[in-house]
Amino acid sequence: MAAEHGPTAGEYIVHHLTHLQNQKPKGVLDFSVFNLDSIFWSITLGVLGCWLLWLAARKVTSGVPGRFQAAVEVLVDMVDSQAKGIVHSAESRKLVAPLALTVFVWIFLLNAMDLLPVDLLPVIFESLYAAAGHDPHHAYMRVVPTADLSVTMGLSLSVLLVCLYYNVKIKGLGGWVHELFTAPFGSHPVLWPFNFLMQIIEFVAKTVSHGMRLFGNMYAGELIFMLIALMGGAFSLSATGIGLAIGHIIAGSAWAIFHILIITLQAFVFMMLTLVYVGQAHDAH
């Protein structure tokens, strides 16, 4: 990386945890900052996911399906049966079931970026960046978009918007406002502020935990991959540390295999919670 000296462990981690941004954030919350790497990778993988599913749909046959078609059918069936169990309105399912499928496929692909070697894409980007005549020290690139809080909170906020839309659509604006003020405790006027407060807390907690759960899992996973990579890096610096190289391979493989479970599970959990929240929007209290 650096020409004069290798980065220390802390520098390596910080470099890998810095986004490629259009400008430095001025505070914790700065809406004029764009994480260009997250945007690029999420759009690329979204297009890839759409293309894969379109490919399956284009060649679809009612005869004996090929392996690819069978896999996509299993996936669509799985999402459809989950949606049927949770969202009972058939009309809403026309939008919600494809939404859930999109969420699942997209988040799975975004999470799967974690399984690429941590330094592969950043190093390629760094050499391109240097070839374009920039300082390679500032070639930041994070390849796992779901390890970016802006992406996961964006997803969970979109789910919140869908929930609000269905609340208004199913119950009517008046019915929903009525529910906001009367729902958990009762319709006595004294209880209105408490009911309203509880409803607001519920919406905020649902949305924040929805986004944070995905972010936390992917962030921790990414960080552990980096620490494992550091272990391999320490091997190349010491003459006797062959144990570190073996440890690197064992730990890397074990964590990668375990991570296959985590990325699928988190994509599944995000999809299921999307369905559950939209289903809740259909229940009248």
Partner 1 sequence: MEVISFVALAAGLIIGLGAIGACIGIGIMGSKYLEAAARQPELMNELQTKMFLLAGLIDAAFIIGTGIALWFATANPFLAQIANLPK
Residues that bind partner 1 (CB under 8 A): 9-10, 13-14, 17, 82, 209, 212-213, 215-217, 219-221, 223-224, 226-227, 262, 265-266, 268-269, 272
Least Å distance between CB 184 and partner 1?
22
Is residue 42 flagged as an active site residue?
Answer: no
Q: Is 35 helix (H, G, I), strand (E, B) or coil?
A: strand
Looking at beta carbons only, is 13 or 191 nearer to partner 1? 13
Q: Which of 209, 236, 238, 253 is catalytic?
A: 209
Least Å distance between CB 82 and partner 1?
8
Q: Where is 39: in which H helix or E strand?
A: helix 36-58
Looking at beta carbons only, is 209 or 253 nearer to partner 1? 209
Least Å distance between CB 208 and partner 1?
12
Least Å distance between CB 276 and partner 1?
9
> How many Å is the maximal CA-CA distance in the chain?
76
Burial of 18 (0-12, 13-18, 19+ CB in 10 A): middle
Least Å distance between CB 14 and partner 1?
5
Token pair listed for 40: 């690029």
Looking at beta carbons only, is 9 or 60 nearer to partner 1? 9
Looking at beta carbons only, is 70 or 265 nearer to partner 1? 265
Looking at beta carbons only, is 16 or 171 nearer to partner 1? 16
Is residue 150 flagged as an active site residue?
Answer: no
Q: Which long-range contacts (CB under 8 A, 24 or more apart) does 98-105 make?
A: 99/162, 99/274, 100/271, 100/274, 100/275, 101/75, 101/76, 101/271, 102/49, 103/155, 103/267, 103/270, 103/271, 103/274, 104/75, 104/79, 104/267, 104/268, 104/270, 104/271, 105/49, 105/52, 105/53, 105/75
Least Å distance between CB 63 and partner 1?
28
Q: Is 241 helix (H, G, I), strand (E, B) or coil?
A: coil
Q: Which of 213, 236, 238, 253 is catalytic?
A: 213
Q: What is the DSSP letter of 8?
A: P
The answer to whether 42 and 35 are in contact (CB under 8 A) is no
Is residue 67 flagged as an active site residue?
Answer: no
Q: Which of 217, 236, 238, 253 is catalytic?
A: 217
Q: What are phi and psi of 233, to 5 degrees?
A: -65, -40
Looking at beta carbons only, is 38 or 195 nearer to partner 1? 38
CA distance 219 to 215: 6
User: Which residues are part of the catalytic machinery?
Assistant: 209, 213, 217
